[in-house]
Amino acid sequence: MRSAAAVSMRPQYPLQRVPESPLPVQGVTMKLLFDTDPGVDDAMALLFLHRHPAARLLGITTVFGNAEIDVTTRNALHLCERFGIAAPVARGAALPLVRPPRGAAPEVHGDDGLGNLEGPLHATREPDARPAHRFIVDTLREHPGEVTLVAVGPLTNLALALAEDPAITGLVHRVVVMGGVFGVGGQGGNVSPVAEANILSDPHAADAVFTAPWPVTIVGLDVTHRVLMDHACFERLRAQGGAEGAFIWQASRHYVGFYGRAVGVAGCYVHDASAVACALRPELFTLRAGPVRVVDQGLAIGQTIQRTGGRRYVHATDWDGLPDQQVAVDVQAAELLALFEHTLRRPAPGHAC
């Protein structure tokens, strides 16, 4: 078995530690939108957000990815009903912008997208009448400068929102994306040697999102492969994490099995919840600044590349005039895991210890 700690992380370029987050301070809340393709680790991230005292979830937008859009939307609605999450759910894109769809990932997330749970997954609530990209635009306009947009699936909804209303780049507080891989410490992709799943699912959308003039923080495999949730943590959540903890244990059995067989780790990597943690507690991450582009064709399709340093390249003008985005190159993994676990193990609101 390979341990996450064995991955070498010695970056050779100027790095930046983000300032201490103002959170969590009693009574201070962060407004968030969650764009997601549930997905086992998406469900873990959603429940983490739901239980975090500083998070105020304004809405959930769904996208194809780990399963077809009907399934990811049904799963989001089911999770909301099951755990009393009041935020509206808006159904999003069914297909990538340009490239053919890669298809669902039942071998990772199960046939139902939630780890092959027993019994049919009901959802009686209806989605919001608006498509996801319109819901994103409307929400950013209603709360100018206040909303952190956390995206943990293919970036199609965000690209459509940008196309519909480019002015949203000046209205968002921050965009935090789970996706990509930048080769830090030799880290490779999870769907090709150079590509991560969310980005390969819609590389054109990802390139539009990363090159837009809004502040994006990218939490890729370089850091999520250092955040390994082990069996003991799952067992503690099952025993002491209330209904959410028991659900996470159950839904993750298939996912953990996949990681054991395919990657040889004991537990699973915490992808999507790491992006949520980066939104809530950015000081747990070390970030590297520079423009980011995505390869959208050929052998390296889906590869994410960051230009580091200020050099301009005379024969590569596609890199000129782009905004710097922040790429996570290191993470305080133990602290992140403790944050996740303790958030889920907090007594539910209204319940005495």
In the complex, the smallest distance separating the C-beta of residue 130 from ligand BDR, rounded to whole angstroms, is 24
Distance of CA 138 to the CA centre of its chain: 21
Given 173, 271, 315, 342, which residue is catalytic?
Answer: 271
- CA angle 136/141/145 to nearest 5° reads 100
Radius of gyration in angstroms for the set of CA atoms belonging to the chain, rounded to a whole number: 19
Query: Which of 102/143 has CB closer to ligand BDR?
Result: 102
- Omega before residue 24 within 30° of 0, cis: yes
Of the residues 62, 66, 139, 157, which one makes contact with ligand BDR according to CB under 6 A: 66
Query: Which of 270/305 has CB closer to Ca ion?
Result: 270
In the complex, the smallest distance separating the C-beta of residue 318 from ligand BDR, rounded to whole angstroms, is 26
Query: Which of 242/260 has CB closer to ligand BDR?
Result: 260
The answer for 258, left when phi > 0, alpha when psi is -120 to 50, beta otherwise, is alpha
Of the residues 41, 128, 244, 330, which one makes contact with ligand BDR according to CB under 6 A: 41
Q: Where are the alpha helices (DSSP H) in 148-292?
A: 156-164, 197-201, 203-211, 221-224, 231-240, 242-262, 272-280
Of the residues 271, 288, 293, 307, which one makes contact with ligand BDR according to CB under 6 A: 271
Query: Which of 133/271 has CB closer to ligand BDR?
Result: 271
Is 50 a catalytic site residue?
no
Stretch that binds ligand BDR, among 136-144, 195-203, 247-255, 256-264 (CB under 6 A): 195-203
- Omega before residue 39 within 30° of 0, cis: yes
**What single DSSP character describes residue 149?**
E
CA dihedral 196, 46, 97, 142 (to 10 degrees): -140
Which of ligand BDR, Ca ion, none binds 115 (CB below 5-8 Å, type-dependent)? none
Does 291 help bind Ca ion (rule: CB under 5 A)? Answer: no
Residues that bind ligand BDR (CB under 6 A): 39, 41-42, 66, 105, 108, 152-153, 178, 190, 196-198, 271-272
Catalytic residues: 271
